[in-house]
A and B are shown apart, each in its own frame.
Chain A
């Protein structure tokens, strides 16, 4: 790997700070809700709020935000959720302690007929718990913040979210009940199961986590033994909050691996795939990868209507089975920093050097696609900044630099109980 392509500390700081900037740009100060993306009329995303709540402590530590402002932002959104309509009606905000995926930025009511999302609610709650672990001062504001988080966490009826099944359902709608989508196999939802197992009020049944891990696929692919999941974000999101180094559940004990090492291998699989580049897309190589859930080009866009290849728009791109339309996410490489620092920095630097257009206003856009180069030879670039992308960058860079989020959450009693009930042992646990 070439040292020239590595990102230095100053540039890393700029990238992380710019990513954090999204939350200040996209917040509604009246209720603390954060827009899903930077496009006009974007609704709020509850998961992005979770990332914002986790990012505020980072910003305080780095001097990007006054502690009082961070507390105010956090209190604002936590109060909103506490007081929100939990009736489960089609225009409510939530039900059973869960929340609809997308909410109106101003009223907080459900939009787009979105589902009551279990995973996105878990990311929100994880963010809230992060805030409560950081803002521990004995002031009225920070005391209220912690009480609010406690209220929100304890009222989530995780058991209900199983329906009649052994595992957690992906979502629920007032119009049709639980969604029928299959949600098997390893993905980003360890954090969901850990929170759900750790609840003192409405925990999952004892065998729920094992029922989920029973759907795992342990594969040898491109010479790497790993727990398969195609899109890269699935190997990153839970790791933003939980330090999986050295702690293992039954599955990982059997495989003599852990989820952190597994993510490192998943990065190697991404590199191998990009090197092979079976669809012969422009740009792909061992230092230019990042197939994950992201915005992307679509045949529905007027400028791409004549493109003969299938383009997937917003999709969970993955390896090795796709979908793959040549779209990559630069931020996904940077968010891999904790797992494989040298590899991630090399790739992130390399990609930025070759495709600087992937940054607009210093922030990572959701994706770029060098195969769909424009007339001036620059790659097609998503016109949106997405909160999830910015959030994972802020958190993973911080975990790489100071392990702040991991340290906070290691001390969270609910995380402890959840991990233990899921069968995790060893390491810091």
Chain B
């Protein structure tokens, strides 16, 4: 497996990256002298680790934070931040090519300057790295150690030869790409989220293996930059956890963009011949070989649980599912908790953040906050984006909850029509006979922003009936949510009530 290491990064060492590295792993860093016994030792300085360290320190705890690589973890360095930065540029290119759709002229020379795209990304990443910087941690009173943590007992560990004692510890070591399942892959150069943002040249031909969020987002972005892109997905639809209509709309969008979509397709062998990568693809009884210049693997993530000597700490774990925790995020060692990708099924930055806050309360303040009580939205930032919160219809029906869905296609929303962003829908699932929101899926250009209103309603216990009374600024695409609530209200007008209203009005 290819391991990313900042010090072996092939990214151009420009001013942006020097600033970022100065923030997230300064050259010549010397670990501090450890305190006698820490209230909380945090292993891993990704989103979960940083949130926990800052929150605990702000509340007066003595905190040590250990990171073997870069502060900010995947999200800042090789995940959400760089991907969203390049997706924005990719969207702009797509809009330029579609300018006539908006009554504008297509620019004469649409030439993709990939190096400039990546330089912009590095600038953004460097700027955002300031909030995750070691300097902020020090200012907050956190002792920052760089090195590999290694448990030596149930309440001790070492980092870089230094022994740390703790009352409580948090394992927030994150996850890494799972790339073990494709024969021949390890013998070739390949891309994952850990090195794709180091590219300075656009691959002419790209094969994306995997149709999850990472594969879908980057396949579309690289296609829009001009790479001949094939995406091979083993399942019959992209984003297999999402509703089939959402996944279908995404497939259609990919085809419109010019991505060669290979669903129900497995990569069964990879080899290098004549300087190009040849990949055998199999779909049921149909086999083909494609030749490409680069392969991006997005076939899931596995938790980082190796090298920690968890056995010595009495922490149960699984190499696939990660640290075993209860609903309070406590491991089999009552002193040690876990948060984020190292233990959670939903590997998102915001979930890591929320789980870290639970750990701070439960570990340090006798809290009894439960993971299962969280309402977690998520979004895949393709175009259109696909966002979801709560239950899917399938899950509700499996639990014998009668469910009804209020669907508003985006082509019924004035702002979406004005913006020529009519692909998509808002679907809000309610418990039938009530206005209780069970979940929602939104497919829209700005689905990630729109889902937050539904999440707020669910967390606050606000039903669709109340949402119908919320005035939405006109025209906005979020008005689709109001329209769904209005549709709910109309279903309350039973024939009997309609008859009574008619009687009242004619009286």
- Taking the complex as formed, is B256 at the interface, i.e. its CB lies under 8 A from any CB of chain A? yes
B394 touches A218 (CB 8 A): no
Interface hits, B463-497 → A, CB 8 Å: 487-488, 490-491
**A310 CB contact (under 8 Å) in B236, B256, B491:** B256
Complex-state Cα separation, A335 to B425, whole angstroms = 29
- Taking the complex as formed, is B398 at the interface, i.e. its CB lies under 8 A from any CB of chain A? yes
- Taking the complex as formed, is A40 at the interface, i.e. its CB lies under 8 A from any CB of chain B? no
Chain B residues with CB under 8 A of A246: none
Complex-state Cα separation, A177 to B188, whole angstroms = 31
A180 touches B284 (CB 8 A): yes
Complex-state Cα separation, A278 to B413, whole angstroms = 11
- Taking the complex as formed, is B81 at the interface, i.e. its CB lies under 8 A from any CB of chain A? no
- Please tell me which stretch of A55-63, A148-156, A219-227, A348-356 contacts chain B, meaning at least 4 of its Cβ atoms lie within 8 angstroms of it: A219-227
- Please tell me which stretch of A29-37, A129-137, A283-291, A320-328 contacts chain B, meaning at least 4 of its Cβ atoms lie within 8 angstroms of it: A320-328
- Taking the complex as formed, is B264 at the interface, i.e. its CB lies under 8 A from any CB of chain A? yes
Chain B residues with CB under 8 A of A225: 404, 491
A254 touches B402 (CB 8 A): yes
How many interface residues does A have (CB within 8 Å)? Answer: 29
Nearest A residue to B491 via CB reads: A220
Nearest B residue to A177 via CB reads: B284
Chain B residues with CB under 8 A of A278: 409, 411, 422
B404 touches A220 (CB 8 A): yes
- Taking the complex as formed, is A175 at the interface, i.e. its CB lies under 8 A from any CB of chain B? yes
A219 touches B244 (CB 8 A): no
**B255 CB contact (under 8 Å) in A180, A228, A310:** A310
A214 touches B398 (CB 8 A): yes
- Taking the complex as formed, is A425 at the interface, i.e. its CB lies under 8 A from any CB of chain B? no
- Please tell me which stretch of B62-70, B122-130, B245-253, B351-359 contacts chain A, meaning at least 4 of its Cβ atoms lie within 8 angstroms of it: B245-253
Minimum distance in angstroms from B481 CB to a CB of chain A: 14
B404 touches A218 (CB 8 A): yes
- Taking the complex as formed, is B397 at the interface, i.e. its CB lies under 8 A from any CB of chain A? yes
**A173 CB contact (under 8 Å) in B252, B285, B393, B394:** B285
Complex-state Cα separation, A184 to B242, whole angstroms = 13
Complex-state Cα separation, A185 to B407, whole angstroms = 16
Describe A's contact surface by its main secondary structure: loop
Over the window 198-215 of chain A, the binary record of Cβ atoms lying under 8 Å from chain B Cβ atoms (1 yes, 0 no) is: 000000000000000011
B403 touches A113 (CB 8 A): no
Nearest B residue to A221 via CB reads: B407
How many interface residues does B have (CB within 8 Å)? Answer: 35
B405 touches A320 (CB 8 A): no
A223 touches B490 (CB 8 A): yes
- Taking the complex as formed, is A217 at the interface, i.e. its CB lies under 8 A from any CB of chain B? yes
- Taking the complex as formed, is A179 at the interface, i.e. its CB lies under 8 A from any CB of chain B? yes
- Taking the complex as formed, is B237 at the interface, i.e. its CB lies under 8 A from any CB of chain A? yes
Complex-state Cα separation, A214 to B399, whole angstroms = 10
Interface hits, A241-289 → B, CB 8 Å: 254, 276, 278
- Taking the complex as formed, is A302 at the interface, i.e. its CB lies under 8 A from any CB of chain B? no
- Taking the complex as formed, is A182 at the interface, i.e. its CB lies under 8 A from any CB of chain B? yes
Complex-state Cα separation, A176 to B207, whole angstroms = 24
Over the window 163-199 of chain A, the binary record of Cβ atoms lying under 8 Å from chain B Cβ atoms (1 yes, 0 no) is: 0000000000101100111101100000000000000
Complex-state Cα separation, A228 to B243, whole angstroms = 13
B285 touches A113 (CB 8 A): yes
Chain B residues with CB under 8 A of A182: 235-237, 244
Chain A residues with CB under 8 A of B427: 219
Chain A residues with CB under 8 A of B189: none
- Which of A181, A220, A225, A228: most chain B CB closer than 10 A? A220
Nearest A residue to B400 via CB reads: A214
Chain A residues with CB under 8 A of B405: 217-220
Nearest A residue to B236 via CB reads: A182
Nearest A residue to B409 via CB reads: A320
- Which of B397, B402, B422, B490: most chain A CB closer than 10 A? B397
Chain B residues with CB under 8 A of A175: 284-285
Complex-state Cα separation, A220 to B491, whole angstroms = 9
Chain B residues with CB under 8 A of A276: 411-412
A180 touches B252 (CB 8 A): no
Chain A residues with CB under 8 A of B422: 278
Minimum distance in angstroms from B425 CB to a CB of chain A: 7
Interface hits, A121-150 → B, CB 8 Å: none
Nearest A residue to B411 via CB reads: A278
Over the window 413-432 of chain B, the binary record of Cβ atoms lying under 8 Å from chain A Cβ atoms (1 yes, 0 no) is: 00000000010010100001
Complex-state Cα separation, A322 to B407, whole angstroms = 15
Complex-state Cα separation, A185 to B235, whole angstroms = 17
Chain B residues with CB under 8 A of A176: 284-285
Over the window 373-405 of chain B, the binary record of Cβ atoms lying under 8 Å from chain A Cβ atoms (1 yes, 0 no) is: 000000000000000000001100110001111
Interface hits, B426-467 → A, CB 8 Å: 427, 432
Known contacts A220-B404, A223-B490; A321 and B249 CB within 8 A of each other: yes
Chain B residues with CB under 8 A of A216: 393, 397
Minimum distance in angstroms from A217 CB to a CB of chain B: 5
Minimum distance in angstroms from A179 CB to a CB of chain B: 6
Chain A residues with CB under 8 A of B409: 221, 278, 320-321
Known contacts A217-B393, A278-B411; A180 and B248 CB within 8 A of each other: no
Pick 19 A–B contacts, CB within 8 A, sort by A. A175-B284, A175-B285, A180-B284, A182-B244, A184-B244, A185-B244, A214-B394, A215-B394, A216-B393, A216-B397, A218-B432, A219-B404, A223-B487, A254-B402, A276-B412, A278-B411, A310-B255, A321-B248, A323-B252
* Sample of 5 more A-B contacts, CB < 8 Å, known A219-B404, A220-B407: A173-B285, A219-B405, A220-B487, A310-B256, A320-B425
Nearest first, the 7 closest Cβ-Cβ pairs linking A and B are A175-B285, A278-B411, A182-B236, A176-B285, A219-B405, A176-B284, A221-B407
